[in-house]
Amino acid sequence: VFGAIATTTPGVRRNAIFALGAAVILIAVSWDRIISPVESYILFGLIIGYVALLAFLARGKSDDPTIAELTDLEHMDGLPKSMPTILGSLLIGLVGLPIGAQMIVSGGTAAAADLGVDDALIGLTAVAFGTSLPELATVVMASVRRQAELAIGNVLGSNIFNVFAVGGATGIAASLAGSELPVPEAFFG
């Protein structure tokens, strides 16, 4: 929407493959409409393994210019320079983001219910959209500032994290409550 994003950053292909793999794994473990406790622990173990792999790869690439650029805060364009400006921006973001997300989720949920959309599908899309707003804001700002690496990394990383960490933790919580995590039929329709 905001323009083409091209990058030659090392690791984008690897992370895209991981994101695609995460989607395939999620479909596989939920195909029987249940995510079992074993599958939940596997999902959660995969996020731990993925983060460990990234840490290992980052240690070996200390001279990577992309990492150096992203960690050089003093020379980044568009950053506020004074502490009151930083704190004010942080406060506005911390207050505005959940209010905006709540307004979008409740408005979208009401509109979908008025159109007769299934409750499971409403829950999936409304929650997904509401929880993805921080990533959307990051990608929009990164695209506007022509920081392709940040935009692409944010999208791929959040997809991997949501499948493995959130899916795994939700399944583990369900198993600790004495049940398996059900996957509504509407998600496959």
pLDDT tens digits, the chain, 189 residues: what are they? 555 666 666 677 788 889 999 999 999 999 999 999 999 999 999 999 998 888 887 776 655 444 554 455 555 566 556 788 888 888 998 888 778 777 877 887 888 888 888 777 777 777 677 667 777 777 777 777 777 777 777 778 888 988 999 899 999 999 999 999 988 777 776
CA atoms within 13 A on the CB side of 57: 11
Specify the pTM.
Answer: 0.66
Q: Judge whether 19 and 156 are in contact, CB under 8 Å.
A: yes
Report the pLDDT value the prediction gives residue 66, as an integer from 0 to 100: 47
Separation CA 18–CA 81 (nearest Å): 37
Q: Tell me whether residue 142 is exposed, middle or buried, using C-beta atoms within 10 angstroms of its C-beta: 0 to 12, 13 to 18, 19 or more.
A: buried
Nearest to 136, CA basis, from 97, 105, 178, 182:
97
